[in-house]
Amino acid sequence: MIKIKLKKGQNIWVTSDTHFAHKNICRGVTNWRTQDGEVPDSQTRDFKTLELMNETIVNSINFNVGQDDILIHLGDWSFGGFENIEIFRNRIVCQNIHLILGNHDHHIEKNRGDIQKLFSSVNTLEQFDLKWDGGKETFTICHYPLSSWNNMNNGVIHLHGHVHLPTDKRFGKGKKMDAGMDGHPEFRPYNIIREIIPLMKNREIKSDMLYDHHEERFEGQDVG
């Protein structure tokens, strides 16, 4: 379970799908090809070398996320071998990283070599409350995008990763958003209070389903 209690001066950030050391997502060295034999630009990152991509990922996190801040990572931490999990973690200065497991995080899920000790928590699906001076919001977080989620009708925000949506497509229906690095216009984590909440505040309550009674608010309360 994720327990978030911000201290004075502490920031909270979210990101996803860093894919540290993932060769095929790096355009300059990828082996991926379309049926026409071309490099798939929309599926790759515009870096000439894997080293440059890795350095940019690390620098973009460390430049923004402080040592005492909180970083929520929504999965697909690293790639290319078990050892890259710890290599990447050791290069990040933030000491408080909560990881939501993605489809490429199987070594972490199995806790190989007690690797989960590198993170403040490791989960698959979580809901947490965030309080700060001036407000309170509740979030449902998962690596995968959900069509409907707990207390959606009360304005709970859903953040996910997995689909690597570009900036202009990062919002789903309602209060739902891909919080991955690929969708941030500066290729970096999002500050939840300064960026995510203002982006999501006025979005309507809406589900991906054709009909979902959780879009509606009702008087009274269910018990039992």
Residue ranges of the domains in the chain? 12-208
pLDDT digits (tens, 9 = 90+) for 62-100: 999 999 999 999 999 999 999 999 999 999 999 999 999
pLDDT digits (tens, 9 = 90+) for 141-190: 999 999 999 999 999 999 999 999 999 999 999 999 999 999 999 999 99
Superfamily for 12-208? Metallo-dependent phosphatases (3.60.21.10)
Token couple for 159? 């953040």
Which pTM does this prediction carry?
0.94
Q: How does strand 12-15 pair with strand 190-191? A: antiparallel
